[in-house]
Amino acid sequence: MKMFVCIKRVPDTSEADVKIDQTGKSVDSSRFSFGINDADNYAVEEAVLIKEARGGEIKFLCIGPKDSDVVIRMSLAKGGESAVRIEDPRINQKDPLQVAKVLAAAIKREQFDLVMTGCMSADDSNMSVGVALAEELGVSHAAMVKSVEILDGKIKVKRELEGGLTEVVEMSLPAVITIQTGINVPRYAPVRGIREAQKKELKVLKLEDLGLAEEEVSEAGSRVELMKLYIPVVASNAEMIQGTPDEKAEIMAVKMVKGGLL
């Protein structure tokens, strides 16, 4: 089983103030913390579990600057043979179809059985790269996978649908699956393991190495254009409860009990 796992380093903005920078087209990330994209982390673990159960080989793929090496090394420490980081400022990372094209170019050069991505990135959340990648590679896919079973030349997966429903799908290999969070419990990569993983191959490639022309994957070559970013007006009709924490609690309690909400 030869597997590719696509990972990305993303900011954690769940508690952060997100501000738009002067370009108006990107955000000021100087005060964010960063880490591996959550869903990708589950994909890494799933690949390692499959490898532990059936043997095989894992290669990590990542588009990003050198800062991304830390999440690549952490993934390699968990179990993986090698990694490729594609660093090229010409790549338009805001277009999921172009990202898929770059990843496909890196995968196509080799034989593979299974490609995994996270089902969604925490920053852009297009939920599109994995499925577009499958089309670029000309193989079957399933998105939002919550369970994987490898069969002979096939794969059986459970997709997590709305309303707690699960859809079971069978596909022939090779295939691409996008992994939903919660499919497993990602392990910890101890620092000694990460140091050990420094010995593993991590190639850094550019567009030319992948045989891609700039216009295929650059902003200019995208079929859509990001016009501007802006902070949404929170259209809240909510009644703001004012005061100290104690006062707010009291006002709310009175509304709930005496206002007949309960």
Partner 1 sequence: MGDIFVLAEHRRGELREVSLEMLAAASSVAPQLGGKITAILLGSGVNSFAEKLAGYSDKVLYVDDPLFAEYNSEKYQLALSDLISRYQPELVMVPHTTQGVDMAPALAVELKMPFVADVAGLSFEGGKLQPVRTYYQGKINADFAFKGKPPYLITVRESSFSAGDPSKQGTVEKIASPLKEDIQYRKFVEYIEAVVGDVDISQAEILVAIGRGLREEKNLSMIEDLAKSINAVIAGSRAAIDAGWLPHDRQVGTSGKNVKPKVYIAIGISGAFQHLAGMKAAKTIIAINKDPNAPIFTVADYAIVDDLFKVVPKLTEKLKELRA
Partner 2 sequence: MNSEVRSFLEKHDLLGCVQCGRCTGGCPVTARTDLNVRRVIYESIDEKMLDKMSKLPDIWDCTTCSTCAVRCPKGLKPLEVLIGLREVLVESGMVQSTVRDALESVFQEGNPWKKPRATRLDWAEGLEVKIAEPGEKVENLIFVCCTVAYDPKLQDIARNLVKVLNKAGVDYGLVGDGETCCSSEVYNLGEAGLFEMMVEDNTELLKGFAADRMVTISPHCYSTFKNQYPLLKMEIVHYTHLISELLAEGKLALPKEVSKKVVFHDPCYLGKKNNVFEEPRFILKQVPGVEVLEFERKKERSLCCEGGGGKMWVETESRKERLAETRIKDARALGADVLAVACPFCILTLDDALKAKGFEEEMKVADILEILHEAAG
Residues that bind partner 2 (CB under 8 A): 12, 16, 30-35, 70, 74, 78, 185-195
Token pair 């900011």 in the structure block, residue = 11
Q: What, of partner 2, partner 1, none, does residue 189 touch, CB below 5 to 8 Å by kind?
A: partner 2
Looking at the Cβ atoms of 113 and 123, the one nearer to partner 2 is 123
Q: What, of partner 1, partner 2, none, does residue 203 touch, CB below 5 to 8 Å by kind?
A: none
**How near is the Cβ of 237 to partner 1 at its closest, in Å?**
7
Q: What, of partner 1, partner 2, none, does residue 109 touch, CB below 5 to 8 Å by kind?
A: none
**How near is the Cβ of 206 to partner 2 at its closest, in Å?**
26
**How near is the Cβ of 28 to partner 2 at its closest, in Å?**
11
Residue type (1 letter), 24: G
Q: What, of partner 2, partner 1, none, does residue 18 touch, CB below 5 to 8 Å by kind?
A: partner 1
The helix (H) or strand (E) run that includes residue 175 is strand 175-179
Looking at the Cβ atoms of 66 and 228, the one nearer to partner 1 is 228
193 burial via Cβ count (<10 Å: 0-12, 13-18, 19+): middle
> Among residues 110, 67, 105, 70, which one has the least CA distance to residue 87?
67
**How near is the Cβ of 155 to partner 2 at its closest, in Å?**
25
- 107, 147, 241 from 143: Cα distances, Å: 19, 11, 42
Looking at the Cβ atoms of 5 and 210, the one nearer to partner 2 is 5
Q: What, of partner 2, partner 1, none, does residue 102 touch, CB below 5 to 8 Å by kind?
A: none
- 32, 218, 244, 249 from 256: Cα distances, Å: 38, 55, 18, 10
Instruction: Please list, in sequence order, all residues whose beta carbon lies within 8 angstroms of the beta carbon of residue 58, skipping any fewer than 6 positions away.
Output: 3, 4, 5, 47, 48, 51, 79, 80, 81
> Among residues 80, 42, 39, which one has the least CA distance to residue 61?
80
Looking at the Cβ atoms of 142 and 197, the one nearer to partner 2 is 197
**How near is the Cβ of 71 to partner 2 at its closest, in Å?**
9
**How near is the Cβ of 24 to partner 2 at its closest, in Å?**
22
